[in-house]
Homo-oligomer: A and B are copies of this chain.
Amino acid sequence: MEELLKNLKISVSENLYLKDPESSELGRRIIEHGILLIDKIGFEKFTFKKLGLEIQSNESSIYRYFENKHLFLVYITNWFWGWKEYQLMFSIYSINDPEEKLLKAIDVMAHPVIQDIRFKHIDEVALNNIIINESSKSYLTKKVDEENKHGHFLLYKRLVKRISQMISELDCEYKYPFSLATTIIDGSLHQHFISQHFLSITDGGDKINPSMFFKNLVLNLLNTNNGK
């Protein structure tokens, strides 16, 4: 098992890069420090020139890996969803009860991220901040449909499908499994953002977190005896 994990590589669509950043030292440095820099200064202020300075490399070298910073964002976003999918599948592997399974899935999606030592060059906490604060910019563009055709959002959609399946497994009568799945996934990100910036519209104190809200929601919303 340990061995299996050692060889783990999150596979991201080839359409997203010019040269696979996982294939070289420079590539991994681009990913590592690109994530840290976006987390630090925000996606708007982030440029390949600044990243070049940060890693003592050249702007033009970074352009050989990624066409532009937008595709870099799409790449790391895909990596994140791929990583989440691994965590999800792994954590529900031995669970048979549909209810327990969905609750576990919500935990994986909604709980604050902790570092994953298996990927040394990726700071998952910084990446999670980027997902909360920047990732919607990867699809909120005039080119969504075109990019969608090229598979830029596949991993996100696959995760939505998996969770919607778990919802249907628990309550096969429920009519909106997809809407509920996206609500859980994207709503979690949004709730994290709100609890960090708009305290006046949050419920109670530190004890309450997005995971609790969504677990309570699912348990009360779904008819948990239907699935069996």
State the A residues within 8 Å of B (CB). Answer: 41-42, 44-45, 133-134, 136-137, 139-142, 144-145, 148, 153, 157, 160-161, 164, 175-183, 186-187, 190-191, 193-194, 197-198, 200-204, 208, 210, 212-213, 216-217, 220-221
Contact = CB atoms under 8 A, between A and B. Distances in A.
19 contacts: A41-B142, A45-B142, A133-B140, A137-B137, A137-B140, A139-B193, A153-B198, A157-B200, A157-B201, A175-B203, A175-B204, A175-B216, A176-B212, A179-B191, A179-B210, A180-B217, A183-B191, A186-B187, A221-B221
Nearest to A217: B221
Contact of A194 (B161, B164, B182, B198): B182
Contacts of A145: 197
Contact of A190 (B186, B194, B221): B186
Contacts of A157: 198, 200-201
B220 A148 contact: no
Given A176-B213, A179-B210, A201 B133 contact: no
A220 B174 CA distance: 11
A85 B131 CA distance: 30
A88 to B, nearest CB: 16
A142 to B, nearest CB: 4
A140 B186 CA distance: 14
B203 A176 contact: yes
B148 A198 contact: yes
Given A160-B201, A198-B157, A208 B175 contact: yes
A197 B42 contact: no
4 smallest CB-CB distances across A and B, nearest first, come from A42-B142, A179-B213, A160-B201, A178-B203
